Structure 1
Amino acid sequence: MKIANAYFEAMANRDVEMIISLSADDVNCISTAGELKGTTSFHGFHERFAQMLSKFTLVDAFGNDEKAVIIYKADTLPVQDLTAVEYITVKNGKIVTTESIYDATPFAQYRAAQARH
């Protein structure tokens, strides 16, 4: 849970470098937006997320030092009150996998509306 909690705090603080320091070189991020492999892609993902994040609140977290789940609410520029769940796998003190589960429909609707303008 220590790494999962540190990961959440780094996201809440928009500290992308801390997120990467907690991650294995071959970190794998799976979400409704697709799959990212490696710290370069993971860094870009979190950099973009940090730029649009306005509020980040922990709802719950549970697990152990190898597997953890964090549930949070986020307000972002395109979507308010997003609820997401991340299932985090840690090996040798580094995040190796994070699986994000959230409704991506509001993001798709926002992108479609922006494309029309």
Structure 2
Amino acid sequence: MSAALETALAYHRAWTGGDLDRAMTYVADDIVCDAPAGRIEGVAAYRAFLGPFAGMLRSATLLAAFGDDETALVMYDTETTLVPSAPGAECVTVRAGRIVHSRFLFDRVPFDAARRRLGETSRP
């Protein structure tokens, strides 16, 4: 298994398993994440971004994972308290065993629709 893929999968297993503290050990202090909501910089901001989603996670199913020495792509489907199926993908760059960049893709539409049904206006 490639170095980047090993790191990406360890990170994925940690946060989808409910251990956000462990997941953050795979993330560089100066991570840059490009997500649907915009750019997130730094490990504290990244944790604040991921934490609410991880908190509503019920289960995750790994769909595919590929990688080389520096880049890995992990695609998965999640079940959350808001929606029964929320597919996502992360393409990460890894250096020295830590994720330094993440391109985080997911569809916000099902979450927005669920929140409207519940009368919520804020996003985690």
Q: What TM-score comes out, normalization by structure 2 length? A: 0.85
Residue in structure 2 matching 1:35, options 36, 39, 43: 39
- Runs of 4+ in structure 1 displaced over 4 angstroms? none
Q: Which residue of 1 aligns with 2:61?
A: 57
Deviation at 1:71, TM superposition (A): 0.6
Residue in structure 2 matching 1:99, options 98, 103, 106: 103
Runs of 5+ consecutive residues of structure 1 not aligned to the other structure: none
Q: Which residue of 1 aligns with 2:76?
A: 72
The alignment partner of 1:74 has SS state of strand
The alignment partner of 2:64 has SS state of strand
Q: Which residue of 1 aligns with 2:113?
A: 109
Paired with 1:60 and 1:81, the residues of 2 have a C-alpha distance of 16
Runs of 5+ consecutive residues of structure 2 not aligned to the other structure: none
The alignment partner of 2:18 has SS state of coil
Q: What TM-score comes out, normalization by structure 1 length? A: 0.90
The alignment partner of 2:113 has SS state of helix
Q: Which residue of 2 aligns with 1:26?
A: 30
Aligned length: 117
Deviation at 1:27, TM superposition (A): 0.7
1:18 counterpart letter in structure 2:
R
1:12 counterpart letter in structure 2:
T
Matched residues, percent identical? Answer: 32
Residue in structure 2 matching 1:82, options 83, 86, 90: 86
Q: Which residue of 2 aligns with 1:45?
A: 49
Q: Which residue of 2 aligns with 1:13?
A: 17
